[in-house]
């Protein structure tokens, strides 16, 4: 069995203004305590306990956790805001009618706990496991978002089954024309179009420019947050569908390793100025992370494979072909969708199958905007007649 750790983000249900103001006041008091500890020498800081803060009205368990947090952040000079946090002994999860409750006491010397209702949202299954003692609770944080909404952030650990032995691998190619393309070996593929995201990026870019000219900077931050939340939701939806796709066929998922794409990817100024084309704005890593933790829960195996040549190799035989926009053309004139071809190569990956010397090849990201290449393709300067076309 494997252990999966999640953080449940639960908004408080109909939190009244009095409790919200108390959360704010105690959070700032907690921040002052932590900043006071940072002024103490590191060797002496660990000697403090809740007894040294008897004059503070925050409960001892909360103060002890604040001391641990201050000691752990060795490079921090000053906390702007440190949320209240307590370990699993300082709170409890319950249920009232259709709503779940989190019960805790913030004040020193007061044992009475006041239950607060929380929205379960998409975490009902996990919360039910907590009530049935099938999950292990971690710490609780009282957190306020930029929009002023108070949340209970609860860390949960649970046992999940080990990944089943996959009957094959579904390759997942990520890009801009298509956010993701997943295909079964030598079979059909599922496409998630990137057109809505491109339109979203450009719309918000245009809106930001207008607001910046009007010097409404606070509005700019709000719409940036809104855009980020929409993209996060899109990645959640796609990752859930990817895991279900793999689970239905009893296969694992393979991603191309795009680590360092922002550092190695070359883009023209015209490309970077367009939010719909600028690769710096695309959340490739987030989509993979969301898919990985959902796959762990479902028992689906996930692997990463090297990215070079996945879009320029023929999925039939591994021979270098030519990719132009949406189409891949093999040395013999064979044509297919380039993203589907890439997903096939990722799914079938068993080491580099290309007959060229890949150790001397340029990084796949270094030819992002070459004449014939794309952001996940090698250089196309090699003449096809010089390529060994025998199957590998």
- CA dist., res. 144 & res. 152, Å (int): 9
Using the predicted structure, report yes or no on whether residue 204 has a pLDDT greater than 90: no
DSSP letters along 55-112, please?
TS-B-HHHHHHHHHHHHH-TT-S--S---EEE-TTSEEEEEETTEEEEEE--BTT---
At residue 237 the predicted structure's pLDDT band, cuts being 50, 70 and 90, is very high
pLDDT at 217: 84
356, pLDDT greater than 60 = no
Q: What are the C-alpha distances in Å from 90 to residues 21, 116, 151?
A: 21, 14, 17
Question: What is the CA angle 312-314-320, rounded to 5?
Answer: 50
Computed on alpha carbons and rounded to an integer, the radius of gyration of the chain in Å comes to 26
Q: Which of 15-24, 268-277, 360-369 has the lowest mean pLDDT?
A: 360-369
pLDDT of 67 reads 93
Q: What is the pTM of this model?
A: 0.70
Strand order in the sheet with 114-118: 91-96, 99-104, 114-118
**% of residues, the chain, pLDDT over 90:** 34
pLDDT at 271: 74
Q: Report the pLDDT averaged over residues 112-138.
A: 86
- Which residues fall within 8 angstroms of residue 338, CB to CB, at 6 or more apart? 311, 323, 325, 326, 327, 328, 374
Residue 254 is predicted with a pLDDT of: 92
- Separation CA 349–CA 171 (nearest Å): 9
CA 9 → CA 123, 144, 162, 298, distances in Å? 9, 11, 26, 21
Distance from C-alpha of 189 to C-alpha of 340, rounded to nearest angstrom: 7
* Predicted pLDDT at 351: 62
pLDDT greater than 50 at residue 360: no
* Backbone torsions φ then ψ of 228, nearest 5 degrees: -65, -40
Give the pLDDT of residue 46.
83
Q: What is the mean pLDDT of the chain?
A: 82
Q: Hey, where are the domains in the chain?
A: 2-160, 162-392
Supply the pLDDT for residue 358.
Answer: 39
Neighbours of 186 (CB within 10 A): 11
Strands (E), 120-187: 135-144, 150-160, 169-174, 178-183
25-71 pLDDT tens trace: 999 999 999 999 998 888 888 889 888 898 999 999 999 999 999 98
pLDDT of residue 375: 35
Which of 78-92, 191-205, 278-292 is the least confident region?
Answer: 278-292
Query: Which alpha helices (H) appear in the chain, and where do they start and end?
Result: 17-38, 42-45, 60-72, 124-131, 195-213, 217-249, 261-264, 269-272, 284-298, 338-348
Candidates 304, 284, 308; CA nearest to 358 is: 308
């Amino acid at each position: 069995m494997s252990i999966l750790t999640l953080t449940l983000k639960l908004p408080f249900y109909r939190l009244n203004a009095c409790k919200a103001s108390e959360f704010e006041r105690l959070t700032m008091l907690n921040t002052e305590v932590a900043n006071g500890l940072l002024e103490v020498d590191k060797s002496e800081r660990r000697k403090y306990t809740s007894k040294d803060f008897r004059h503070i009205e925050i409960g001892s368990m909360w103060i002890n956790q604040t001391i641990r947090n201050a000691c752990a952040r060795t490079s921090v000079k000053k906390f702007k805001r440190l949320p209240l946090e307590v370990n699993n002994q300082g709170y409890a999860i319950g249920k009232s009618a259709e709503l779940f409750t989190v019960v805790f006491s913030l004040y020193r010397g007061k044992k009475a706990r006041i239950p607060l209702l929380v929205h379960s949202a998409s975490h009902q299954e996990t919360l039910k496991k907590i009530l049935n003692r099938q999950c292990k609770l971690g710490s609780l944080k009282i957190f306020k978002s930029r929009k002023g909404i108070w949340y209970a952030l609860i860390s949960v650990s649970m046992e999940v089954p080990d990944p089943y032995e996959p009957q094959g691998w579904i390759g997942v190619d990520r890009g801009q024309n298509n956010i993701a393309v997943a295909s079964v070996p030598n079979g059909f593929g599922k496409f998630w179009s990137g057109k809505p995201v491109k339109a979203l990026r450009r719309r918000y870019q245009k809106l930001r420019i207008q607001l910046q000219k009007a010097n409404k900077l606070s509005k700019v931050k709000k719409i940036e947050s809104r855009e980020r939340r929409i993209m996060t939701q899109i990645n959640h939806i796609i990752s859930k569908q990817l895991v279900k796709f793999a689970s239905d066929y009893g296969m694992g998922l393979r991603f191309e390793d795009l680590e360092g794409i922002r550092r190695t990817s070359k883009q023209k100024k015209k490309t970077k100025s367009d939010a719909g084309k600028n690769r710096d704005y695309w959340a490739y890593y987030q989509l993979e992370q969301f898919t990985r933790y959902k796959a762990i829960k479902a028992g689906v195996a996930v692997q990463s494979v090297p990215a070079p040549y996945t879009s320029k190799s023929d999925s039939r035989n591994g021979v270098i072909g030519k990719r132009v926009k949406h189409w891949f053309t093999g040395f013999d004139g064979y044509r297919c969708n380039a993203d589907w071809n890439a997903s096939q190569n990722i799914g079938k990956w068993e080491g580099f199958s290309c007959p060229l010397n890949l150790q001397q090849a340029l990084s796949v990201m270094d030819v992002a905007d070459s004449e014939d290449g794309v952001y996940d393709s090698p250089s196309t300067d090699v003449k096809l007649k010089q390529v060994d076309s025998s199957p590998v």
